């Protein structure tokens, strides 16, 4: 196992949110997590995957694509 397991607080810090947000993701089963006894840990790769899956790419218009400035 090479993936670092993060606490909810560490995950929140990496996401730039409060601990409530990763806890909600866990409760809604929207992110992978690991139960270690009664402790909950989030694999670092799960955060990377979550961010990648929810990243919205900008719309490139034809004008922007051609380098034309309005």
Please indicate, yes or no, if residue 55 is contained in any of the structural domains.
Answer: yes
Query: What sign for the dihedral angle of Cα 1, 3, 23, 8?
Result: positive
Range of the domain at 30: 5-65
| Higher pLDDT, residue 32 or 2 | 32
| Higher pLDDT, residue 70 or 30 | 30
Residue 68 binned pLDDT confidence (cut-offs 50, 70, 90):
low
Burial (CB < 10 A; 0-12, 13-18, 19+), residue 40, is middle
| Higher pLDDT, residue 59 or 11 | 11
Residue-level pLDDT at 67:
63
In tens, the pLDDT along 15-53 reads 999 999 999 999 999 999 999 999 999 999 999 999 999
Say which CATH number the domain at 56 has.
1.10.1660
Q: How many domains does the chain have?
A: 1
Please indicate, yes or no, if residue 70 is contained in any of the structural domains.
Answer: no
User: Is residue 41 classed as helix, strand or coil in its secondary structure?
Assistant: strand
Please indicate, yes or no, if residue 35 is contained in any of the structural domains.
Answer: yes
Please indicate, yes or no, if residue 60 is contained in any of the structural domains.
Answer: yes
| Higher pLDDT, residue 46 or 64 | 46
Please indicate, yes or no, if residue 34 is contained in any of the structural domains.
Answer: yes
User: Nearest CA to 44 among 34, 54, 36, 53?
Assistant: 34
Query: What sign for the dihedral angle of Cα 38, 50, 45, 22?
Result: negative
């Amino acid at each position: 196992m090479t993936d670092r397991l993060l606490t909810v607080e560490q995950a929140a810090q990496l996401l730039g949110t409060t601990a409530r947000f990763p806890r909600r993701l866990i409760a809604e089963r929207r992110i992978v997590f690991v139960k270690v006894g009664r402790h909950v840990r989030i694999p670092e790769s799960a955060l990377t995957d979550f961010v990648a899956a929810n990243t919205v790419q900008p719309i490139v218009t034809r004008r922007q694509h051609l380098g034309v400035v309005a």
